[in-house]
C-alpha cells in the first residue's frame, strides 16, 4: 500500500516518527508521501524523505497558509521541487469553508502551483473544500489538460467526482469513508473506476472509525483499503494492489530505486 497523503512533518510525530514509519511498514505500507503545508514544513518533508526509506515528499503551500506566500515562495518551492525525493506539488488548492486566508490569496497561490506543475511535470495534490467550481476553473485556465494530480480527501458529491475524473484526475479517500455517517461518500467510492482511486490517511488527522479522536498514522491506511473493498465487494488484496499501482503511475518519481517498494 501507499499512504498518498500523510503529514509526518507535523509536530505530533516528533516523539515517534521513526516508530510510526516502522509500524506502517509492518502493516504493509511500502510508500508514504509526506506532505508539506508551507515552506518550512515542505523543507522538513524533504529532509525526512531523505532520511527514511519509503518516505517521499510533496512540497507546497496549503490554502490555509496562502497568506504566507511572498516573492521568495515560488523560488523556494522550485528549489525543493527538483529534489529526488519530491514526487508531487502540494498540498495546494482552495478552502472556502475556513477561509483562514482570503479567497483571493488562495486563488493566487493555487494558480502559481498549477503553473509550476505544468513547468516541472510534477503531479498536483489538491485540497478542495466547498470550492468545487473555482478549483476546476483554475485548473482549466492554468493547466489546460497538461497537469495530472489527485483531489485528496475527496468529500464532494458524485457529480463533482465525475467532473474530476473527466479532467483525468485521481480521487484520494481517507478514513472519512469509514465513518458511520459517510454512507453517501461510500456510495461515491463504489462508483469510481478502481484505476482512479488512491488511499491516504491525512494523518495526524482523520483517524478511522475504530480509533476516532486518536492521532492518526500511516499504518491505518489499511482501514481505508478495507472499507473500499467492502463497498466494492472486492478483496482487500485487490484494493491494495490496484491503488499501489495507481500511486506509482501518478507519482512516477516513487518508482522503486531500491528494495523498499514492491
| # chain residues binding Ni ion, by CB under 5 A | 1
Nearer to Ni ion, 99 or 238 (CB): 99
Contact 45, 34 (CB under 8 A): yes
Neighbours of 252 (CB within 10 A): 12
Closest Cα to residue 56, out of 28, 23, 21, 16? 21
Nearer to Ni ion, 190 or 221 (CB): 221
Contact 68, 103 (CB under 8 A): no
Nearer to Ni ion, 40 or 119 (CB): 40
Q: Locate 39 and state its grid cell.
A: 515552506
- Segment contacting Ni ion (CB under 5 A): 71-79, 154-162, 202-210, 245-253? 202-210
- Segment contacting Ni ion (CB under 5 A): 40-48, 176-184, 195-203, 242-250? 195-203
Nearer to Ni ion, 92 or 243 (CB): 92
- Closest approach, Cβ 190 to Ni ion, in A, equals 24
- Closest approach, Cβ 189 to Ni ion, in A, equals 19
- Segment contacting Ni ion (CB under 5 A): 105-113, 164-172, 180-188, 200-208? 200-208
Mutual angle of helices 183-191 and 221-232, in 10-degree steps: 70
Name which of residues 34 to 73 contact Ni ion (CB under 5 A): none
What DSSP designation does 216 have? P
Nearer to Ni ion, 202 or 217 (CB): 202
Strand partners, 6: 34, 203
- Segment contacting Ni ion (CB under 5 A): 99-107, 134-142, 196-204, 227-235? 196-204
Nearest residue to Ni ion, using CB? Answer: 202
CA distance 162 to 160: 5
CA distance 191 to 86: 31
Contact 204, 12 (CB under 8 A): yes
- Closest approach, Cβ 202 to Ni ion, in A, equals 5
Contact set with Ni ion (CB under 5 A) = 202
Amino acid at each position: 500500500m501507499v499512504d498518498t497523503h500523510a503529514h509526518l512533518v507535523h509536530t505530533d510525530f516528533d516523539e515517534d516518527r521513526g516508530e510510526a514509519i516502522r509500524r506502517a511498514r509492518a502493516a504493509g505500507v511500502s510508500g508514504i508521501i509526506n506532505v508539506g503545508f508551507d515552506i518550512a514544513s515542505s523543507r522538513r518533508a524533504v529532509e525526512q524523505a531523505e532520511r527514511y526509506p519509503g518516505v517521499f515528499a510533496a512540497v507546497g503551500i496549503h490554502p490555509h497558509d496562502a497568506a504566507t506566500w511572498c516573492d521568495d515562495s515560488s523560488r523556494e518551492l522550485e528549489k525543493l521541487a527538483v529534489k529526488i525525493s519530491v514526487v508531487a506539488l502540494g498540498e495546494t488548492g482552495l478552502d472556502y469553508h475556513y477561509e483562514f486566508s482570503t479567497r483571493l490569496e488562495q486563488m493566487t497561490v493555487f494558480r502559481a502551483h498549477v503553473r509550476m506543475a505544468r513547468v516541472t511535470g510534477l503531479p498536483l495534490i489538491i485540497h478542495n473544500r466547498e470550492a468545487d467550481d473555482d478549483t476546476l476553473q483554475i485548473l482549466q485556465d492554468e493547466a489546460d489538460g497538461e497537469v495530472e494530480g489527485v483531489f485528496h480527501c475527496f468529500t464532494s458529491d458524485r457529480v463533482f467526482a465525475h467532473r474530476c475524473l473527466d479532467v483525468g484526475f485521481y480521487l484520494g479517500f481517507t478514513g472519512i469513508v469509514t465513518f458511520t455517517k459517510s454512507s453517501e461518500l461510500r456510495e461515491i467510492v463504489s462508483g469510481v473506476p478502481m484505476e482512479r482511486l488512491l488511499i491516504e490517511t491525512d494523518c495526524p488527522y482523520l483517524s478511522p472509525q475504530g480509533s476516532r479522536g486518536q492521532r492518526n498514522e500511516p499504518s491505518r491506511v489499511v482501514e481505508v483499503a478495507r472499507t473500499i473493498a467492502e463497498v466494492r465487494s472486492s478483496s482487500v488484496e485487490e484494493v491494495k494492489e490496484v491503488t499501489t499501482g495507481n500511486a506509482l503511475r501518478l507519482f512516477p518519481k516513487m518508482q522503486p530505486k531500491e528494495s523498499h517498494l514492491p
